[in-house]
Amino acid sequence: MGPNRTPPSDPGRQYRTARADTLGQVEPDRGGEFVVRPSSLTPAELGGLAAAMAGEPMHVLAWVRYPAMANRVRGLALAWTPRAVYVEWEDRGTHRAWVWASAVERAPGDQEAAAAPERPQSAVITGRGTEPLVHLVNAQLALIGAEFRTAMAKPTGPFSAVVFGSIDGHHVRLDFSTDPATGMCVVVLVGPEEALPNQSAAPTFEKAIAAHPWTAAIGTLALEASSE
């Protein structure tokens, strides 16, 4: 899930999206009873980003914050942005709230999940976890005489991370993500003008990196440099 974009999917598949701040907090009707409400992220914290709507809600564990405590709940991820996840859970009624993406992880398998048809599992991606992926990228770039030099890596959600760096002195970034709905691994190379032939998707990162149009991307970088 690269910065400021919804999680990418396999080629040809389109996610339904909505502005994150239009998915409001939901609380059960308690008939006037005073109950402490969980704290959902504010519109300012959501940042006006578009949210990808889950075609099939995903079982997750999420830390939900209350005024004086945090409670870990088992629920469903209904939508997400690069920084937040819209979670639904049951506790004397149905709750829905936005929480930070770093507070969410896939739930371990349970009897209900085991009884369902087997689906691809999406890997949680960390900044450090991108190191072997960058090595695979450089193995491909070495074939055309180029190298990606890492400056900084950071997660951008539970299933995505971004690596900032440069290729031949040009500032670029690599986005790595897994699609929670399909388990597909996606690699995106973004250049200074965000105009590179930039996406490949496959069942594994190794295959996605091997399939990426690196030669065309480096050629575009060279053209951008010559036009400056």
For all residues of the chain together, what is the average pLDDT?
79
SS3 72: strand
CB 120 within 8 A of CB 183: yes
CB atoms within 10 A of CB 51: 26
CA atoms of 2 and 194, how far apart (whole Å): 12
Q: Which stretches of the chain score pLDDT less than 50?
A: 1-14, 110-122, 228
Residue pair 193/217 in contact (Cβ under 8 Å)? The answer is: no
Gap between the Cα atoms of 203 and 187, Å rounded:
11
Tell me, what's the pLDDT at 177? Answer: 84
User: Quick one: which of 129, 165, 164 has its CA closest to 147?
Assistant: 165
pLDDT at site 37 = 86
Q: Which amino acid is at 23?
A: L
* Residue 52, beta-bridge partner list: 17, 80
**Taking the model in full, what pTM does it have?**
0.49
Contact between residue 130 and residue 141 where contact means Cβ atoms under 8 Å apart? no
DSSP state letter for 32 = T
Beta bridge partners of 202: 185
Q: What pLDDT is recorded for position 154?
A: 86
Decide if 127 contacts 161 (C-beta within 8 A).
yes
